[in-house]
């Protein structure tokens, strides 16, 4: 895989995150006949979050394959299709439903290559979305990246901007391994500049979304936006936070994270998933192992409370890190 980032920058337009994903799907489907989309509600309705809108008209019902509600059947069919020559992109409507399909994701997709001694490859993408913020309650709001990160054989992507969404989805589709691609329900209607035409963001590369010298905030998905807002507030108090958007959780760009930490000597890891056993623990533990002597304070974690996500708006907000929480903890850390 090759990053285009080195080339002359392409023209950009402002797109919503879901439009950017839609564009990536369209371009990859035009480029490669083997790419198909498979999932619930993705045809006439265009997907629960309109990521596949218009694709039925363009590619027809065999390449935009709408399914009954049969999560493990669908994911398993994608595994079989990937093994035999297609490059399926599965849309799982909510990551909370992964518990129905985890066996095919882990025991079959992720392990196939290793288990069979390298005979096959499983070029499939499982796109889904998670996160809270829409009042969908405990069965439609989880953040489950830690489950996938803990599986040998999966790659794991969580873009925070429309441009990254497009570029990382295209790269994921071209990747020869099973990629879990996690969107966030509250990012779909965020806008940003997106390069036209082919745009690839390589897997495994984090990005500094804001430079700073006083502390490093390592985060991903929707919390990147919160961290940027928080950084703006911190700046007005004279604290310059560097925001590292991890983008690809597996493989993890340790070099970029460590370089930032070695500069700022303080680190705050932020994610929406519950704290206990969250991927933030991995990031924090890795930083401590690799950069202990560079740290002026222990890495802090700011993450979801250990509860299911409640329904009511004010309750929901109270269990996942908000902008103010980041500001508060960052200040504690820098003092």
Ligand X SMILES: Cc1ncc(C[n+]2csc(CCOP(=O)(O)OP(=O)(O)O)c2C)c(N)n1
| Active site (catalytic) residues | 71, 140
Instruction: Find all residues with CB under 8 Å of 282, minimum gap 6, and list them.
Output: 146, 149, 252
Q: Which is nearer to a second copy, 64 or 149 (CB)?
A: 149
Site string for a second copy, 51-90 (x = CB under 8 A): ---------------------x------------------
Contact of 228 with 209, CB cutoff 8 Å = yes
Name which of a second copy, ligand X, another protein, none residue 134 binds, using a CB cut-off of 5 to 8 Å depending on partner kind: another protein
> Quick check: 159 binds another protein (CB under 8 A)?
no
Helices (H), 32-174: 55-63, 71-83, 98-103, 112-115, 145-149, 162-174
Name which of a second copy, ligand X, another protein, none residue 1 binds, using a CB cut-off of 5 to 8 Å depending on partner kind: another protein
Instruction: Find all residues with CB under 8 Å of 257, minimum gap 6, and list them.
Output: 206, 216, 218, 244, 246, 283, 286, 287
Contact of 85 with 221, CB cutoff 8 Å = no
Give the interface with ligand X as residue ranges (CB under 6 A): 40, 69, 71, 93, 97, 100
Instruction: Kindly tell me which residue out of 9, 68, 197, 238 binds another protein, with binding defined by CB under 8 A.
Output: 68
Contact of 200 with 167, CB cutoff 8 Å = yes
> Quick check: 115 binds another protein (CB under 8 A)?
yes
Instruction: Kindly tell me which residue out of 210, 308, 325, 331 binds another protein, with binding defined by CB under 8 A.
Output: 308
Among residues 283, 279, 277, 278, the alpha carbon closest in space to that of 254 is found at: 283
Which residues inside 21-40 make contact with another protein, applying CB under 8 A?
Answer: 34, 36, 40
Instruction: Kindly tell me which residue out of 27, 37, 51, 77 binds another protein, with binding defined by CB under 8 A.
Output: 77
> Quick check: 202 binds another protein (CB under 8 A)?
no
Instruction: Write down the least CB distance from residue 126 to ligand X, Å.
Output: 14
Instruction: Kindly tell me which residue out of 281, 317, 325, 328 binds a second copy, with binding defined by CB under 8 A.
Output: 281
Question: Which residue of the chain is nearest ligand X when measured via CB?
Answer: 97
Other C-beta atoms within 10 Å of 144: how many? 20
> Quick check: 136 binds a second copy (CB under 8 A)?
no
Which residues inside 129-158 make contact with another protein, applying CB under 8 A?
Answer: 134-140, 152-153, 155
Rounded Cα distance, 181 and 165, in Å: 9
Strand partners, 13: 194
Name which of another protein, a second copy, ligand X, none residue 188 binds, using a CB cut-off of 5 to 8 Å depending on partner kind: none
Contact of 156 with 182, CB cutoff 8 Å = yes
Residues in the chain: 335
Instruction: Write down the least CB distance from residue 111 to a second copy, Å.
Output: 4
Question: What are the CA-CA distances from residue 210 to residues 84, 191, 244 (Å)?
Answer: 43, 18, 7
Interface contacts to a second copy, rule CB under 8 A: 72, 96-107, 110-111, 114-115, 137-139, 144, 146-147, 149-150, 152-153, 250, 252, 273-274, 276-282, 284-286, 288-289, 292, 297-301, 306-308, 310
């Amino acid at each position: 895989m090759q990053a285009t980032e080195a080339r002359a920058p392409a023209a950009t337009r402002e797109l919503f995150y879901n439009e950017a994903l839609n564009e990536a799907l369209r371009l990859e489907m035009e480029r490669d006949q083997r790419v198909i989309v498979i999932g619930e509600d993705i045809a006439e309705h265009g997907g629960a979050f309109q990521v596949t809108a218009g694709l039925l008209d363009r590619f027809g019902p065999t390449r935009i394959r709408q399914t009954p509600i049969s999560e493990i059947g669908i994911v398993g069919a994608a595994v079989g299709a990937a093994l035999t020559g297609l490059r399926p992109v599965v849309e799982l409507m909510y990551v909370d439903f992964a518990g129905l399909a985890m066996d095919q994701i882990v025991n079959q997709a992720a392990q196939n290559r290793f288990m069979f001694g390298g005979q096959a490859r499983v070029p499939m993408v499982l796109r889904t979305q998670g996160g809270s913020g829409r009042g969908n309650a405990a069965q439609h709001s989880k953040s489950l990246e830690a489950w996938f990160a803990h599986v040998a054989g999966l790659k794991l992507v969580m873009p925070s901007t429309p441009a990254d969404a497009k570029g990382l989805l295209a790269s994921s589709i071209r990747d020869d391994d099973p990629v879990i691609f996690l969107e966030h329900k509250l990012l779909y209607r965020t806008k940003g500049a997106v390069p036209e035409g082919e745009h690839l963001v390589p897997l495994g590369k984090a990005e500094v979304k804001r430079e700073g010298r006083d502390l490093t905030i390592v985060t991903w998905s929707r919390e990147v936006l919160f961290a940027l807002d928080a950084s703006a507030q911190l700046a007005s108090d004279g604290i310059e936070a560097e925001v590292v958007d991890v983008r690809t959780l597996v493989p993890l760009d340790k070099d970029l994270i460590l370089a930032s930490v070695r500069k700022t000597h303080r680190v705050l890891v932020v994610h929406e998933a519950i704290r206990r056993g969250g991927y933030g623990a991995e990031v924090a533990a890795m930083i401590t192992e690799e950069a202990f002597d560079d740290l002026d304070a222990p890495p802090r974690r700011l993450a979801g409370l250990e509860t299911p996500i409640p329904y009511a708006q004010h309750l929901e907000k109270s269990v996942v890190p908000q902008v103010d929480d980041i500001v508060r903890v960052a200040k504690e850390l820098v003092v």
